[in-house]
Chain A
Amino acid sequence: MTDLASNSAPRQTTERIAASLPRRYARDSRFRYYGLVAIGLALAFLVLLFVSIVSKGYSAFFQTEIRLLIEFDEDRLDPNGTRDPSVLAGADYGGLVKSSLRGLFPEAESRRDRKSLNRLMSSGAGFVLRDMVTNDPSLIGTAQEVWLPAAADIDMLIKGFIDRSKPASERRVNDKQIAWVDALQERDAIERHFNTRFFSAGDSREPELAGIWGAVVGSFYTLLVTILLAFPLGVMTAIYLEEFAPTNRWTDLIEVNINNLAAVPSIVFGLLGLAVFLNFFGLPRSAPLVGGMVLALMTLPTIIIAGRAALKAVPPSIREAALGVGASRLQVVTHHVLPLAMPGILTGAIIGTAQALGESAPLLMIGMVAFIVDVPTGPIDPATVLPVQIYLWADSPERAFVERTSAGIMVLIAFLVAMNLIAVVLRKKFERRW
């Protein structure tokens, strides 16, 4: 103390500060360096993840198709000539495909060979023809060149996922099929085309016919219900708790419980949904409506907590200013506090719904894991959602589902990015200069 009081004190202090400076700056730059390393690592993993998903999945966006000359034989499709839609829909289109193939490769005579030959084509090829004819019955009696989907195994062969050098017993296509495919390739009658079916169809047992659209629509309806329920409820709860509720033991209890709820494993919400929504209220199984309700329960605490934090961050001086000119408490909230808190509330809501989008466990409990072929047309049709669809495909043994799994993940990420973009646009709209 006497030291400090003496005349030399200022100089000593400067010297001490000067001596400590290099150490402090070194610490600064070290910290910056650690930060860069952390960001670099995170980015590297992200890139790795994306590269692996895209490299595995992009091939699913293309599908091998074979060009066949199809004779729409009136005798076989509509023997009575009535053009009755039910007759047209029930005709044997698979037969047309088979005879066209036989015309291409007449050398396949034995039963076994014919069976292998027919296996070049997807079982969905007949459906394509059926749709063509029912849309345009005038095709009957003509002959058309049509691109039809090849079987998944042939698709894999063309995409190079089947090793030709392996002995025939160890691969899923035999030597004759390979020879036929090569012959088709020579004639340019087998090509990879953009896979529109993947983006327009529901699930299927046949990989080449399976599409993601059913799950996209299911996820859309589910999230719509989630947002419509959780956002207004969550925001109103946050406003009430933050702006109106008296602080007493009850509100403390509610607060603790909301925080606990945010930490409850999601599958528990699924069990709750099963017990309450399905068994007690008798709502339909596998429906996006119920899925959305369950996910809304799960998302609510996130929105409430984020909403309260955003409301708390609005400076009290704004509230006082509004009260001071005679605004009612509700006017203070709706005119001033809520608009200022909106960007923060939206961030919380988007984090919550993004979580809900990736959630599958609670949906398993309410039957959204079922195999559903039809694209849902409303929130009470049976449906599945993107993560569940991805899980189902990942669980399938066929090689062709591997690429579809990765492609499904890409669609899920695209969905997420689209959602975030909407949120960014909304935030920008609400943000004000301070």
Chain B
Amino acid sequence: MAALEMTTPDAAGNRPPKFSTKNVNVFYGEKQALFDVELDIVENQVTSLIGPSGCGKSTYLRCLNRMNDVVEECRVDGSILLDGHNIYDRSVDVVQLRAEVGMVFQKPNPFPKSIFDNVAYGPRIHGLTSNRAELVELVESSLIRAGLYEEVKDRLDNPGTSLSGGQQQRLCIARAIAVQPEVILMDEPCSALDPIATARIEELIDELRENFTIIIVTHSMQQAARVSQRTAFFHLGKLVEVGDTEMIFTTPQDQRTQDYITGRFG
């Protein structure tokens, strides 16, 4: 019943959060990396996670699609609800979860396969399309939405690794989109890119917001300000402050946030 209540709008008409995390504690062996993080992610918005290096942004992000499962000494405590269901529940299938929560990594990591096969891989393993024509259509529409189609339409058979860094990152975004997830996690997706490629991807994120919920880790204050509607500031494994991006950057409540965004540490 509780779950049901959470998925329906409350009295004030606010949409329920896509992700709702409470008391999230993460340990790498003996070392605790996250302390009691409590954060809600709003649907169809871009949420950016900022904070100094090593504060646990990636760790938090990787909790959301259980990517931490493969790190052997990593232990996650607390409740992480996606649409009201705990994703660490025994009944949740991690493969299913990762199909719903896609991820784009810091370094572009296309498969050493053709551009087409890179995008088609997810739909293929999940059996999303029933014939070749549908698959081609899905691959093309994903490439179009990732803003890459025009550049690669004549060479879909070339290896994905033959593209430039920015193109590779957009290919990885297309690959994530093709699985038709609800949430896309991005861990510093532009850190390896030049300003022009970065601008393209920022545009892209803004367009994708319509259909996806996006959580992005970034080290660039400007980027966070440009692309996100909400911003969460992490420090030393703790969530210090979260709120509307504008508010965080103009009137931060916490001294540490203030120091960080004005460049006094980080």
- What is the interface of chain A, defined by CB distance below 8 A to chain B? 246-247, 315, 317-328, 331, 335-336, 340, 432-434
Contact = CB atoms under 8 A, between A and B. Distances in A.
Contacts, number: 68
Given A320-B67, A323-B67, A433 B102 contact: no
A317 B169 CA distance: 13
B179 A325 contact: yes
Interface in B116-139: 121-122, 125-126
A434 B99 contact: no
Q: Which 4 pairs from chain A and chain B are nearest by CB? A: A317-B109, A326-B99, A325-B122, A324-B103
Contacts of A434: 112, 161
Interface of B: 65, 67, 70, 72, 95-99, 102-105, 107, 109-112, 121-122, 125-126, 159, 161-162, 172, 175-176, 179
A217 B219 CA distance: 67
A320 B125 contact: no
B121 A325 contact: yes
A324 B111 contact: no
B161 A326 contact: no
Contacts of B159: 432-433
Chain B contact residues: helix, strand, loop or mixed: helix
28 contacts: A246-B72, A247-B72, A315-B109, A317-B105, A318-B109, A318-B111, A320-B67, A321-B105, A321-B110, A321-B111, A323-B67, A324-B176, A325-B99, A325-B121, A325-B122, A325-B125, A325-B175, A326-B95, A326-B97, A326-B122, A326-B126, A327-B95, A327-B121, A328-B95, A336-B111, A340-B112, A434-B112, A434-B161
Given A322-B121, A331-B125, 13 more contacts: A315-B109, A320-B109, A321-B172, A323-B70, A323-B98, A324-B105, A325-B121, A325-B176, A326-B95, A327-B121, A328-B95, A335-B121, A434-B112
A321 B107 CA distance: 10
Contacts of B103: 320, 324
Given A247-B72, A434-B161, A326 B98 contact: yes
B67 A322 contact: no
A434 B160 CA distance: 9
B234 to A, nearest CB: 22
Contacts of B107: 317
A326 B179 contact: yes
A336 B112 CA distance: 9
Contacts of A325: 98-99, 102, 121-122, 125, 175-176, 179
